Structure 1
Amino acid sequence: PERVRPGEALRLFVVGRDLFLRTGLLLVFLMLGTRVATKAGADTGAAHHAIRSVWTFLAFLLDAFASAAQSLVGYFLGAGRLAPARRVALITCGWGAAAGFAVGAGMWLGQDAVADLFVPDSARATFALAWWIAAAAQPLNALAFVTDGILWGAGDYRYMRNGMITASGLGCAGLLAIDVADPRAIVAINGVIVGWIVVRTGVGMLRVWPGVGASPLRLTP
């Protein structure tokens, strides 16, 4: 039987570390957003929870494109075929963005239904603007998910970790700076979340196009 090679096992532990940090930082940021919302008051907390619950549910739809990108990019790069891998990245980003627009439109159309079910009457006015912000961010949110899948398939775990450190570090600083006594704190919270999404999307897109740094997807002359 083949022996376990310590060097290869260590590389897998490093991958696990990077993915643990990446996912952990994502959760820390989202939990801090919930904490700030609840400190701002019961109504703000309820409105924020409604937005985040729908956001999380719809994320599973958008993540389907990330899963497809991960599998196909990994397959083509493993076969040494860079051009098809980049083509997959382009197609999945396009479909993901289109799905993001559709999700955003669905959120806009479903605003009243969500508010009737989950939001106290006293928080409806503030909820509306925060909901629109979250809906408008869905195309970028989709690209953040898809580029994560692309980089995951490319085995670019360290870059993913560093990108999440940057995005969540800036995002947590923004959340902690919010005045919870402001009645429009939920709008500020969702503004910070959109900024977090923008950073994640930008970091991911730049790694694919043009392929900054030692990108596995970079075209070499």
Structure 2
Amino acid sequence: MDRNPFLSLLKNPSGVFRKDELGIEIAQIAVPAALALTADPIASLVDTAFIGHIGSVELAAVGVAIAVINQASKVAIFPLVSVTTSLVAEEDAIGNSRNGYRELETIEKNLATDDERDQLNPRVGVGNSKRHISSAASAMAIGSALGLVQALILICAAKPILSYMGVSSNSPMMRPALKYLTLRSLGAPAVLLSLAMQGVFRGFKDTKTPLYATLIGDVANVILDPIFIFLFGFGVSGAAVAHVISQYLISLILLWRLMEQVDLLPPTIKDLQLSRFLKNGFLLLFRVIAATFCVTLAASLAAKLGSISMAAFQICLQVWLASSLLADGLAVAGQAILANAFARGDYEMVKAATSRVLQLTLVIGLFLSFVVWFLLRILVQLFTKDAHVLTVLQLGIPFVAMTQPINSLAFVFDGLNYGASDFAFSAYSMVSVALLSVVWLLLLYSSNGFVGIWLALSLFMSLRALIGFLRVWTKSGPWSFLRGSTEQSL
């Protein structure tokens, strides 16, 4: 046995793309998840491109508003999605292990055809057989409530929030930012409900359904953007309305598909598992607040540098997030597979999946680094023609490109820890990282301005990746089973 499981990452690199059962399962989960995750940031990039042709002030204003919306959405939804995915995967795995042999025996005795067997297979969720997953109902109830609360808060407090973000009342950015933020907030209930349902589908290892729904909604957004912005002359308000319509469309599609597969009415209130959701959800809530506060503070500091720096920061940030989220598809796959394996006590699958996912993450991170470096330099004028913005933008491109492997590892370690239900460690470690990063952000901003902001963000992501690395390296928490393994690590 290797003295440390991470040493195995250097072994057999040619096997990273093996088309074995594990590799196929990871691909079937990760690829659709990555496409779905990047679809919304790409839609935001399209919004950014359209709005950039209105003017740099409008582009900067929308950048501040989107930073607020992202902060609010992540604070509310990421704890819900992550907890939902793990609980649904565990509940589905336990339910199948309890009923599998009994169902198989009954089917073999009483049915003659494969089609009839498929109709009664509880894992398929077709025909008259529906999954009884109480955590799915819990996720939707909590998501709906949080969506309504978020919408009310953002609409009522839009102007004070924008002022806190560095947009003064006499700034030319205030009016377009206020319009965009208020209108986009109307879509909060749909956003949180749809993302809660995506967590349910992820727990079932089904990432194709959320992908199809997201693509349909985002295509509608792209089509409606030029119509509302330019044809109807609504400007930034038109971009917000188009986005809201697309989010409600996504939510309706997911609800329709979920109702076909899951019995959303639990037998009793106790079956909702609200206490477990709230306990783990609050832990991740503190984690997400800490993580997104760093990014939001960075956006606020960029806004204080002026509309030109904010416009450049908005373009860099959107590309940074969209490209990095490609690796988050692997995090989704890792979480779903590990949650299922931990629930069954299959530690060999835990080790194998962890090793393969981390190897794939390194490859994808390096690939993204090269792609972002070359494409962003070539295609940067799609976002703005302003020469001043382009000049500042060149300062951020190296950071956006070079941090891709680090970002990829940070996201995937998050997914692995969630799959191990290591929510407490994830929360406390992120708070510590965020506190240190905020100090560096303020110091580097004061001394280096725009470049200092990106230096601090790079340090922030590096610390996140390092913490995840150390958790597995030290074989602590849920990874303590590695200490007594007699097999080759990972």
TM-score by length of 1: 0.89
Task: Give the 3 Å change call, closer, same or farther, for CA 3–37 of structure 1 in structure 2.
Answer: closer
* DSSP-derived class of the 1:211 partner: coil
Q: Which has the higher contact order (CA 8 A, sep 6+)?
A: 1
Task: Give the 3 Å change call, closer, same or farther, for CA 43–75 of structure 1 in structure 2.
Answer: same
Is 1:78–2:346 an aligned residue pair? no
Of 419, 443, 450 in structure 2, the residue corresponding to residue 177 of structure 1 is 443
In 2, are the aligned partners of 1:156 and 1:216 still within 8 Å (CA)? no
Aligned to 1:98: 363
* DSSP-derived class of the 2:482 partner: coil
Aligned to 2:397: 131
Query: Residue 67 of structure 1: CA displacement?
Result: 0.3
In 1, are the aligned partners of 2:444 and 2:456 still within 8 Å (CA)? no
Query: Residue 115 of structure 1: CA displacement?
Result: 2.7
Task: Give the 3 Å change call, closer, same or farther, for CA 185–219 of structure 1 in structure 2.
Answer: same
Gaps of 5+ in 1: none
Task: Give the 3 Å change call, closer, same or farther, for CA 220–112 of structure 1 in structure 2.
Answer: closer
Aligned to 1:112: 377
Larger CA deviation: 94-103 vs 109-118: 109-118
Aligned to 2:238: none
* Matched length: 217
* DSSP-derived class of the 1:215 partner: helix
Aligned to 2:453: 189
Distance in 2 between residues matched to 1:17 and 1:62, nearest whole Å: 25
In 1, are the aligned partners of 2:437 and 2:459 still within 8 Å (CA)? yes
* DSSP-derived class of the 1:220 partner: helix
In 2, are the aligned partners of 1:65 and 1:96 still within 8 Å (CA)? yes
Of 36, 39, 43 in structure 1, the residue corresponding to residue 308 of structure 2 is 43
Is 1:215–2:481 an aligned residue pair? no
For the aligned residue pairs, the C-alpha RMSD in angstroms reads 2.2
Larger CA deviation: 106-115 vs 95-104: 106-115
Q: Deviations over 1:21-80 (max 9, x none)?
A: 222222211111100111122222111111101112223311100000001111111111
* DSSP-derived class of the 2:474 partner: coil
Distance in 1 between residues matched to 2:464 and 2:475, nearest whole Å: 15
The aligned amino acid for 2:483 is T
The aligned amino acid for 1:14 is K
Aligned to 2:231: none
Q: Which has the higher Rg, Structure 1 or Structure 2?
A: 2
Distance in 1 between residues matched to 2:464 and 2:269, nearest whole Å: 40
In 2, are the aligned partners of 1:127 and 1:186 still within 8 Å (CA)? no
Distance in 2 between residues matched to 1:191 and 1:163, nearest whole Å: 21
Distance in 2 between residues matched to 1:12 and 1:216, nearest whole Å: 23
Distance in 1 between residues matched to 2:480 and 2:414, nearest whole Å: 13
The aligned amino acid for 1:77 is F
* DSSP-derived class of the 1:4 partner: helix
In 2, are the aligned partners of 1:96 and 1:142 still within 8 Å (CA)? yes
Gaps of 5+ in 2: 1-266, 485-490
Aligned to 2:296: 31
In 2, are the aligned partners of 1:171 and 1:195 still within 8 Å (CA)? yes
